Amino acid sequence: MHQTNPWKTKNKHTVYDNPWISVREDQVIQPNGSPGIYGVVHFKNKAIGILPIDHDGYIYLVGQFRYPLDEYSWEIPEGGCPDGEDPIVAAKRELLEETGLSAGQWKELGRAHLSNSVSDEEAIFFLATDLVQGEAEPEETEELAHKRLPFAEALDMVMRGEITDSVTVIAILYYAHLTRS
């Protein structure tokens, strides 16, 4: 069912901008008719998540320390897709950079908005199979660990709350749903 937008925007003001995000403070009329402000984080890239699964049913995760959370995180390979770039091109690049893997088969698993109450960030999830191992080419800012484990174990990690990265959780649950018997 399509709903009409009950919000009215009076003006938009960018309060912060860098190469990856911008932050706006919008003056709005809320659905109840009262004036207010709304903060919006605009992401300049789409998030790309790659679920690499080999012929043995094993998944490849990368581990890294995430500054905003002040904690270590196990995740599927991820990266950004600038506006205008084909998401599959970005997915292939990120998989190679972070793991050294290339894939013979690609399938889009789905898409999601990651925090739609405050941002417009969209993620696209890909399944990568028919994997070939090469050399990883991480960005200078990345210190990545690698882990290969059975998909069922990764799913258990999600269900126990040991994997909390939203892109990873969604991709693993998409795949679990697609492959359930």
CATH code for the domain in which residue 65 is found: 3.90.79.10
Residues in the chain: 181
Tokens, residue 147: 């882990």
**Sheet order of strands, 58-66 included:** 71-75, 58-66, 145-150
Residues 98 and 34 in one domain: no
Q: What is the pLDDT of residue 87?
A: 98
Residues 149 and 83 in one domain: yes
Q: Per residue in 104-125, pLDDT tens?
A: 999 999 999 999 999 999 999 9
Residues 124 and 168 in one domain: yes
> Residue 72: inside a domain, yes or no?
yes
Residues 34 and 49 in one domain: no
Q: What is the pLDDT of residue 181?
A: 67
* Per-residue confidence band for 140, with pLDDT thresholds at 50, 70 and 90: confident
pLDDT surpassing 90 at residue 136: no
> Residue 106: inside a domain, yes or no?
yes
Which helix or strand (DSSP H or E) is residue 131 part of? strand 122-133
Q: What count of other Cβ atoms lies within 10 Å of the Cβ of residue 160?
A: 8
Residues 140 and 58 in one domain: yes
70: helix, strand or coil: coil
Residues 76 and 25 in one domain: no
Check residue 97 and give left, alpha or beta (phi > 0: left; psi -120 to 50: alpha).
alpha
Q: What is the pLDDT of residue 153?
A: 98
Q: Which domain holds residue 18?
A: 8-43
